[in-house]
Amino acid sequence: PSLERLNNPFLPQTNRLLPKMAPSAVSGPAHLFRLAGKCFSFVESTYKYEFCPFHNVTQHEQTFRWNAYSGILGIWHEWEIDNYTFVGMWMREGDSCEAKSRQTKVHLVCGKSNKLAYVSEPSTCVYSLTFETPLVCHPHSLLVYPTLTEALQRKWDAAEQLLYDELITDQGYKKVLKEIFEEAGLLKATEDKEVEKQSKKISLEFETVEKCNKEYKQLAEEIKNLKVLLGQYGIPYKANSAENASVGYLSHKLATAVTRVLNGSKDEHLHG
């Protein structure tokens, strides 16, 4: 582009687009992954909306005003899941707007071609987009269960059984499902949950180190006692290898020694 074009204040300034965060990883139904890296636009009145699946949603004012708006309405964040089905994509953390961030929910509906078909703003700075695609026309195309790993499917099956056996409530079942969806990366865990997870991890580490120290002291004490007993039977203690230093090995040597002494063996010195 010419320098004149770059310096023209009347053209939309796409270089103003500064994302607050990186998009989430691509997730959900594998047949939708082919949409990643593509963008679809929709022009309404003086605005051009652009939806880039698994990336972001942007809005560009098509006007010659010097301060024409060009900004981010949301960055790919997580799925909207309802009745065990993917119903939409949440794009969050867009440009600031009245002390909060702009966000957009993209509804996926069956259509003959990939097309951004409709845009609205149901509430201030919360946008709603309708994206048509033949990729969601099959009745099972948006089911959550087939997209999960075998381990998470088993976890879901187990929760289903518990619910059937009335060992958990409907609320408990939904909580387990939410955890499964979070583990699969389909939903983002809330910040509180992340903090809780981190602190739990830290406390577990401390607990493990403490436990390790305690067990180490107990083992050291047992080895000390076994060495004394081995000395009483005149068995030399060699600590030149990890095996010789193990409680199991020393116990074995001691047991052998005791057996030999009880059997009246002539060989007083045992070499293991």
Third-level CATH fold of 16-145: Cation-dependent Mannose-6-phosphate Receptor; Chain A (2.70.130)
For the record, the structure tokens of 235 come out as: 């068995």
In contact, 110 and 132? CB cutoff 8 Å = yes
pLDDT at 218 (0 to 100) = 75
- What letter represents residue 3's amino acid? L
pLDDT at 233 (0 to 100) = 66
In contact, 150 and 42? CB cutoff 8 Å = no
Q: Using alpha carbons, list the distances in angstroms from residue 226 to 213, 216, 233, 251.
A: 20, 15, 11, 7
Q: Measured between alpha carbons, how far is 62 from 56 in angstroms, rounded to an integer? A: 19
pTM of the predicted model, to two decimals?
Answer: 0.64
- Regions of the chain short of the pLDDT cut 50: 1-15, 241-245, 257-259, 261-272
Q: Measured between alpha carbons, how far is 250 from 83 in angstroms, rounded to an integer? A: 61
Return the domain boundaries, the chain: 16-145, 148-201, 202-234
DSSP 174: H
Q: Which residues of 89-107 are buried (b: 16+ CB within 10 A; e: fewer)?
A: bbbbbbbeeeeebbbbbbe
For the record, the structure tokens of 171 come out as: 């609320």
